[in-house]
Structure formats: C-alpha cells, structure tokens
Amino acid sequence: MKSVTADQLAAMRETYLADTKARVVRNALTKNDLSSVSRVFDAEAANPNLFSIDLKTMPVTNQQASGRCWIFSAMNVLREKIAANYEIKEFELSQNYIAFYDKLEKANWFMECVLAEADAPLNSENNRFLLETAVGDGGQWNMLVSLVKKYGICPKTAMPETYQSSHTRTMNGILNRRLRRFAADIRKVSTEERSALKEECLKEVYGLIASCFGLPPVSFTFEYRDKNDVYHADYNVTPIDFYRQYLKEDLDEYVSVIHGPTDDKPYYRTYTVKYLGNVVDGNRIELLNLPMDEFKKAAIDTLKAGEPVWFGCDCGKFGDRETGLWDDSQYDYAGTLDMKLDMSKADELDTRESAMNHAMVFTGVNLVDDKPTRWKIENSWGDKTANKGYYIASDSWFDKYMYVVAINKKYLSEKAKAALAAEPQELEPWDPFGTLAD
C-alpha cells in the first residue's frame, strides 16, 4: 500500500491553484448548495407536467417518518382497482394494517433465518448480514402479495395510523434489540430449548407491535360514497373477505420484473435472493430479468390499459423535491467539479453505487411516436412537495435508475412468460436486488 506523499500534495495544490474555474467554484460553494451551483435549468423545461397517457388517480398519501413506501405505493395501486370496481369517489386502504403483520412476519422470518444459521459463528457472512439488517420497514412487491393473501386488506378507517406507525425509528430499534438478543440466546441453550425461546420472543414482539400500531380489526364496516354521491355500507366484513370480494384481482398473476444489466444475471432468467422475504409460508421472492426495451414496454402497455404500475427505483439520484423532477441531466456535478463521474448502470449496481431504495407508482407516460419521453409518478411523501405530491421522471433517468416493476403476466411477451417456468437462480443475501424499498 502506498501513502500520499508530500510531493503529491504539493503538486496537487499547485495544479488546483492554477485552475481559474476551480477558484470560481470554490467561492460559489462557500455560500451556496452544491446542487444549486450545478443545476441545469434546461432539464425542467424539457420535462413539463403533461402526459399523453395520464390516469386519473386519487390524492397522494403520506408515509411520514417511516420506510413503508412499498406498502403505501402498493395500497395506492390496489385502491384504484377497488375504486374502479365499485365507482368509489375517494378512499384509502390501511397501510398500518399491512405494516402490523409485516413487522410480525418479518420478526418470525428473522428468527427462522438465525435458527438456520445457529451452528455458524455469529461473525459468519450470513449471520453478519442478518444481524446488521435485522428487521426494518422496507419491502418488495412479492412480500406485499404474501401479506395480502394471508391477512387480507381493510380500509384505513378500520385501522388508521398511529404516531408510532408513522414514526417507526424508535420501535424498530427496540424490536431489533430484542431479536438480536434472541440470536445470542439460542447459542446458550440446547437445540430442544430453542423453540420455547422463539415462542417467548414472538409473543413479546406481538405485544410491542400491538402497543405501537394498535390491534388489527377482526371485522369492520365498509362505508363509502360512489361517484353519484350515493352512500353504501357493508357490515361485518373480514379483511380476507374484503380482499377477495372488493379487489377481485389474483395477485399471483403479477410478476416482479427487474432490469439488471450485470454479467451475473442473464436476461430471460428468474432469480431469488437467499434470506429475502417476510412470510415463511408465503410467496417466494422471484425476479424476472428482462432487457430494457421489454421492461419498459410492459410498463407502458399496463398504463395504456388504464392500470397504474408499482415500481422500485433509486430515488437518491438526480432528484428535486421542490420541482418534482428526477432527471439524470438535471445536475452537472461532473462539469462543475471537473470529475469523472459517469458510470454504466451495471457498474453502479456492481459497485453498490446504486440499488433500489424507494417504491412509487407510475400513473402516466408521455409518448412521442409511441416512444416514452417522461413518466408521471404518484409518490407517498404527502401533497406539499412537487406537483401536489406527483412527480416526473425523464425517460433517460428511467433507463438508469429504474430497477423493478410489478407487471401482470398478460402484459409480458411469450418469451418472458416462458422464462417464468424455470427454477430461479439463488443470489447471495447481499445482492443489490435483495435491497428493500423504504
């Protein structure tokens, strides 16, 4: 290993001081934000808030200080389907109801995973991964499907938000402390005693979640007004019955389609990720990797059919909450700083520079000669940002930072459908496509 030498420091300082542009940038940055100095204002004009396909959707929701974007975005998709079936003017599904069972199932999943690794050292690769990530708010589409199939759904009026469900940091810390204690405790007892320790821990976890989120309803009354302002009420409805009766959608028909252009993931193959999931007896995580043209076409065909699209992306790249624009040409950091910052999508994934970290909903797209130029996004950050909570993504940003969409199989090509029949290849727990949207 080589250290930085005094000669190198002197040479770099001399070169920097001789750079007139660097002096101007340094002076600008003493009083201004780097993103403001690097802003390319032409990007906003190139992406107006107009779309050739623009679905009429309900007002945005707000996940507040929680990482439940994947739940909020999925519930936003499902509520539009229910509203269309029954001509409902406006309502929300309970994100808190799904989050309650997600937390419980994730705790159970975590304990099963650490039990499977109980004979390995705590500092083994798998145990380090499990203990570092533990249980958070985030998730993927397949995890949502498992929860809905097992527990159903309910309107938000049946299980509204609590302060803790909207501000999860402290509860998560307590939950993970208890789960990590379980991981330590099972190494101090016989194999036969581990089951009792798990039962005790799960009981405590249930109590924690119930105290923070409230108790999920066993049944409820569903009340709504239709588009003609006529009142309706359905009494003694269970969450499972509500899912089956009102949604009228087979969620098993939906596929998580990814775009991962890395060498280890050939297209038209399916993948799963070790130790990724929440419901032990639920759907396995399966990801179908498709080239960008098919990936994009599936999303467009869904929108053309009048259906919103759940998706996962890297929202941390080239975004502006005030204008509501995600565009990879919006900030010229490389030009401002004279740095080599361009990377391929494959390199960003392989080096951990980028991965999915947020889920939202496509509700529109602008097509020119049937080719997309920009996309309309329904977010879950409330209506005080962007265009009343709706955002815009340029098509070039889509290419670089879009990673997964939930697509009904009927919108896939025959070649893509055929790929679903093969057994998925298992990826390591720390693969970038094992990250969670939060």
Known active-site residue 232: no
- Sequence-distant (6+) residues with CB within 8 A of 29 are 37
Element (H, E) at 390: strand 390-394
**How many CB atoms sit inside 10 A of residue 251's CB?**
19
Known active-site residue 379: yes
Query: What is the SS3 assignment for 256?
Result: strand
Known active-site residue 259: no
Q: What is the CA radius of gyration of the chain?
A: 24
Phi first, then psi: what are they for 394, rounded to 5°? Answer: -70, 155
- Sequence-distant (6+) residues with CB within 8 A of 425 are 269, 270, 271, 272
Determine the Cα angle at 177 with ends 176 and 182, to 5°: 90
The one-letter amino acid code at 282 reads G
CB 43 within 8 A of CB 114: no
Residue 404 to residue 419: CA distance in whole angstroms: 17
- Exactly one of 47, 142, 379, 408 is catalytic; name it: 379
- Sequence-distant (6+) residues with CB within 8 A of 10 are none
- Exactly one of 212, 259, 283, 358 is catalytic; name it: 358
40 alpha carbon, distance to own chain's centre: 28
Residues 244, 245, 246, 248: what is their CA dihedral angle, to the nearest 10 degrees?
60
CB 126 within 8 A of CB 275: yes
Residue 353 to residue 314: CA distance in whole angstroms: 10
- Exactly one of 47, 49, 69, 154 is catalytic; name it: 69
Active-site residues, by number, are 69, 358, 379
